[in-house]
Amino acid sequence: MILTIQRLAYANAGSDATICGDATYTLNGTAQRYSSLSWSTSGTGTFNNPSILKPVYTPSAADKTNGSVALTLTVQPISPCSITVSDQMTLFIENLNIIHNLEPTQTVNMGSTLNLVFEVEAHNDGIYTWFLMMKRSKIVIIQFYNPQYIGN
């Protein structure tokens, strides 16, 4: 008699991650000793192919509103094993809402200073970019790293 011992399937959905609200996310799942796999979501977003280890997830509007989704990788074992294995990661979705109170058009003379004030509702520090339209169709881009919060 020959006795063959089949090891159990293994699944790892990857680490929790954070994306901006307008981004997609490429999952980084790993699995071993499986016959098939599938990804599922607690939300209503979509996978480009839920049957591969590294699909792209596109959050839905509801996912963005909720701020996070649980993404689950489930693997089916190789026969004769029958224990399905799952692992889950959380995808956090940061929504950046800019509240501005600038006049639609402001004129600044050469050499003068214009203070630009804006508020950002976000859950973490980031990079904020101003796009200033100037005469002769020039665009000036100013980036602020780790913006300063001034409380009320």
The structure tokens listed for 76 are 């089916």
pTM value is 0.66
CB 101 within 8 A of CB 69: no
Spell 69-102 as b/e; 16+ CB within 10 A means b. bebbbbbbbeeebeeebebebebebbeeeeeeee
> In the chain, what are the domains?
10-94 (2.60.40.10), 97-145 (no CATH)
Listed in order, strand segments (DSSP E) in 78-137 are 85-94, 97-100, 118-121, 127-134
State residue 128's pLDDT score: 54
Q: What is the pLDDT along the chain (152 residues), one digit of tens a residue?
A: 888 788 899 999 999 999 988 899 999 999 999 999 999 999 999 999 999 999 999 999 999 989 999 999 999 999 889 999 999 999 999 876 555 555 556 666 666 666 665 555 554 555 555 554 444 444 444 444 444 444 44
* Peptide bond connecting 80 to the previous residue in cis, omega within 30 degrees of 0: yes
**Confidence (pLDDT) at 117:** 59
